[in-house]
Amino acid sequence: MNKPYAIGIDVGGTTTKFGIVNRNGEIIEQDRIPSNAHEVVEDFIDDLCEKLLPMVKRAGGIDQFVGIGMGAPNGNIYTGTIEYAPNLKWKGIIPIAELMQKKFGLITKLTNDANAAAVGEMMYGVTKNIKHFITITLGTGVGSGIVIDGKIVVGYDGFAGELGHTVIRHGGRLHKSTGLHGSLESYASATGVRETAIEMLTEHPETESLLRNYSINELTSESVYDCAIQGDTIANRIFEFTGQILGESLANFIMFSSPEAIVLFGGLTKAGPLLLNPTRKYMEANLLPIFQNKVKLLFSELKEADAAILGASALVWDTLRDGKGDF
């Protein structure tokens, strides 16, 4: 008998979102808990269990579930461990899949959170019929998932797809938590947009800008967006620059894996054409002719939380495990 449900869990830096997913990719119930309220991972799992068990019961009990799929920062699909995730409280190597499996008695698979989102996109989103694509999540940081021939690329040790940490500006802006200079994440994230705003306002004290009405603490990618749509010059220049950095990076990625599409997710995509237009312009300008005007640049239509929950749940569907491949 095909069991009808899977549990999908997305462990984020701040919040853990989880839900019960059916075979059609519908999240029939979902909830969330904070990720960083527990000093040890066992307490986190207890908390998760307390929230999940009533949901499982309402869905007909544990026998109706094929397993648990999880996405987490630095989640390793080979080992089921979270390894040295800089944004989580639990340090070192955390065997979370094994702990969950013991707690729930369900097969538990783990992968990187960005990879889980890419799987969600592939199964239920804009890339449903696309076998070669890259997803880029433009949130607090920059995450990525790479799909080649319908399979997520995990690489030799399970950590492939850290495109946010590739360097696009030699000797550029310091990324504090990695120590790298000029990485994509240091520019094309919500944090990066804020830093660009501060830089541009400081470097051009003579240029009037609505952004000067905000205190340094109030300056966010949202306030930059609000000013940009009112025609503010500096705010528009900030998105132009962010799109330039992103577009140049995408060109490099395209010459690596030659995808059919690139899917953008995350908070920054709310800027719409303000971000998309310069991104496409600089992407095309940095491609060899054989790649030009071919690659689709798409916004995800899934809610970000949904994509990750759906993608995580997809790790345990037996049809996937037996058939289409090993995510």
Q: Which residues sit at the interface with a second copy, rule CB under 8 A? A: 74, 83-84, 131-132, 146, 148-149, 151, 153-163, 165-170, 178, 180, 248, 251-253, 255-260, 286, 288-291, 294
How many CB atoms are located within 10 Å of the residue 13 CB?
17
Rounded Cα–Cα distance for residues 186 and 249 (Å): 12
The side-by-side arrangement of strands in the sheet containing 151-152 is: 151-152, 142-148, 133-138, 261-265, 296-299
Rounded Cα–Cα distance for residues 72 and 116 (Å): 8
Rounded Cα–Cα distance for residues 251 and 260 (Å): 13
Question: 230 or 258: whose CB is closer to a second copy?
Answer: 258
DSSP run (H or E) holding 3: none
**What is each CA distance from 319 to 31, 106, 175, 308, 327, in whole angstroms?**
26, 17, 41, 19, 12
Instruction: Find the shortest distance in angstroms from Cβ 155 to a second copy.
Output: 3
Instruction: Find the shortest distance in angstroms from Cβ 192 to a second copy.
Output: 16
Is the Cα dihedral 32, 37, 40, 46 positive or negative? negative
- The residues facing 10 across adjacent strands are 17, 71
The two structure tokens encoding residue 203: 């470097």
**What is each CA distance from 244 to 94, 116, 209, 311, in whole angstroms?**
38, 27, 21, 30
Instruction: Find the shortest distance in angstroms from Cβ 2 to a second copy.
Output: 28
Rounded Cα–Cα distance for residues 185 and 141 (Å): 6
Q: For residues 49-74, b (16+ Cβ closer than 10 Å) or e, as one string? A: eeebeebbeebeeeeebbbbbbbbbb
Question: 28 or 160: whose CB is closer to a second copy?
Answer: 160
